[in-house]
Structure 1
Amino acid sequence: MAIPVKEENGFRFVDEGQGEVLFLLHGLFGALSNWEGVVSRFSRNFRVVIPMLPIYEMPIREAGLDGLRQFVEDFVSQKKLDNMIIMGNSLGGHIALMYTLKNASKVKKLILTGSSGLFEDSMGGSYPKRGNYQYIKERVSYTFYNPDVATKELIDEVFEITNSIPKCLRIVAIAKSAQRNNMAEEIPNIKTPTLLVWGLNDTITPPMVAHEFNRLIPNSELKFIDKCCHAPMMEHPEAFNEIVENFLLNNTSSK
């Protein structure tokens, strides 16, 4: 499905469906295609909102997690959103955690999948190499249990991003910011009901990271998907959506 992107007051975003707000935060290389399965399933019963994070455009001095959290706060204020269910993948999960800690009253539920915030092996332990298509292909494939999920379209998109010096500078700055920002001491302050959905074969934020999130977040539950790496919503969309739907329909935590 092609997801239409709207523009308003300097923000680019997706806004599909009606009902409770399901607010999605993408990762460092988060293409809209990452969320196709989620938008298709949940826009029937929820208002699915996805802000396009200014990862590749923000001023270099602001290129970091605090700048991205501030962007989300500004966007939420502009759209007058409240009582949100926030879902974040990878870097998006990290931003979701930071946003929730500062704006708990606006967050009804939190869903994290392959989130950074405790530990991550970004890009397989190295930063993107400009102009090397084979390297980018290997790194993108590394994020999936089944490398066939890394379509040529997705690889081409990441290659185009990493082939730009200004974009690369921002990617590296944000990735370093994420690695420096360990949230182990802050995370126990999150009281929001939280679902952790993890790939059992995640090589970037391994299963031990999911268990640590589960231990640290008081009101959390953890679900694993087998034969799945860092982006469960892409690799196993049906299983992922089923787990999420059960969580959204259940008003109490199992922990």
Structure 2
Amino acid sequence: MTHRLKKENKFSYIEVGEGQPIIVLHGLMGGLSNFDAVTDFFSSRGYKILIPELPIYSMSLLKTNVKSFAKYLHDFIAFKGFEEVILLGNSLGGHIGLYHTKLYPEKVKALIITGSSGLYESAMGSGYTKRSDYEVIKKKAQDVFYDPAVATKDIVDEVYETVNDRNKLIKTLAIAKSAIRHNMAKDLPNMNIPTCIIWGKNDIVTPPEVADEFNQLLPDSDLYWIDKCGHAAMMEHPDEFNTILSTWLTERKL
């Protein structure tokens, strides 16, 4: 991570740049550094980028769910004193952003989702029966990307450590169940917020038809594809991701 983590109140977060706030929401296994390219690009172009550390493994088991994380995000926005924010979420982070928008639409100026859960959950929390086998976990981490080389040893080590920590594994499985329970299909048609959907054409965690369904159900959405790209477009093709998003924000006057 190239950016310093601030710790204030109950929040740990990165904050870079000045201007319209964009709050970035990481996924279940996603580190804050996954968004370094997004942070560097947009913080130099009139946006304030904030990436809170979501309390995925520190909340009580009863509160380890999508709704609680959405409320935590609401508390963070209130703590920072923002009237209105843009939310950008990958995977579970996209789901949290969507659920927050359902609960607090007046706080959300626009949404950006990439590889988001909320309609279809496949790999989240599954397949950890052989979690002590490093090679199995390595393959699982590589499957997130079109190019397996993007899954560096640091990324694999972090996933391996997470799934072999009993407390973290229990929380991971609780979140997986919560993601299924908090399916958004019935909510999305009522969420009239400008939404940018950026999706990897080769995503096997949330396949391309999931992006099509998001685009059909969300009344004010635009869908963009990135070729030769898996579940984390902002990591695998950062320049293309940033160009698509920058153009969309300009066109939407955000």
Q: TM-score range by the shorter chain?
A: over 0.9
Show the 5 A alignment for 1:21-170. Answer: 21-44=21-44, 45-123=46-124, 125-127=126-128, 129-170=130-171
Residue 20 of structure 1 is matched in structure 2 by 20
Residue 240 of structure 1 is matched in structure 2 by 241
Stretches of structure 1 that go unaligned for 5 or more consecutive residues are: none
- Contact 1:128/1:168 (CA < 8 Å) preserved in 2? no
Indicate the RMSD between aligned Cα atoms, in angstroms: 1.5
Residue 126 (structure 1) shift: 2.4
- Contact 2:125/2:176 (CA < 8 Å) preserved in 1? no
- Structure-2-length-normalised TM-score: 0.96
* Paired residue type of 1:240: F
> Could you tell me how far apart the structure 2 residues matched to 1:76 and 1:162 are?
30
Residue 125 (structure 1) shift: 4.9
| Corresponding residue SS for 1:122 | coil
* Paired residue type of 1:49: L
Residue 11 of structure 2 is matched in structure 1 by 11
| Corresponding residue SS for 2:127 | coil
| Corresponding residue SS for 1:4 | coil
Q: In structure 2, do the counterparts of structure 1 residues 124 and 163 end up closer, same or farther at CA, with 3 Å as the change threshold? A: closer
- Contact 1:113/1:232 (CA < 8 Å) preserved in 2? yes
> Could you tell me how far apart the structure 2 residues matched to 1:82 and 1:130 are?
43
Runs of 4+ residues over 4 Å off in structure 1 = none
| Corresponding residue SS for 2:197 | strand
Task: State the Cα deviation string for residues 189-216 of structure 1 (Å, max 9, x = none).
Answer: 1111100000000101111000000000
Check if 1:2 corresponds to 2:7.
Answer: no
* Paired residue type of 2:84: N
> Could you tell me how far apart the structure 1 residues matched to 2:91 and 2:129 are?
17
> Could you tell me how far apart the structure 2 residues matched to 1:131 and 1:125 are?
14
- Structure-1-length-normalised TM-score: 0.95
Q: How many residues align?
A: 253
Residue 80 (structure 1) shift: 1.2
Stretches of structure 2 that go unaligned for 5 or more consecutive residues are: none
Q: In structure 2, do the counterparts of structure 1 residues 125 and 158 end up closer, same or farther at CA, with 3 Å as the change threshold? A: closer
> Could you tell me how far apart the structure 1 residues matched to 2:236 and 2:83 are?
30
* Paired residue type of 1:201: N
- Contact 1:124/1:204 (CA < 8 Å) preserved in 2? no
Q: In structure 2, do the counterparts of structure 1 residues 128 and 15 end up closer, same or farther at CA, with 3 Å as the change threshold? A: farther
* Paired residue type of 1:12: S
Task: State the Cα deviation string for residues 107-133 of structure 1 (Å, max 9, x = none).
Answer: 111100000110021249524744221
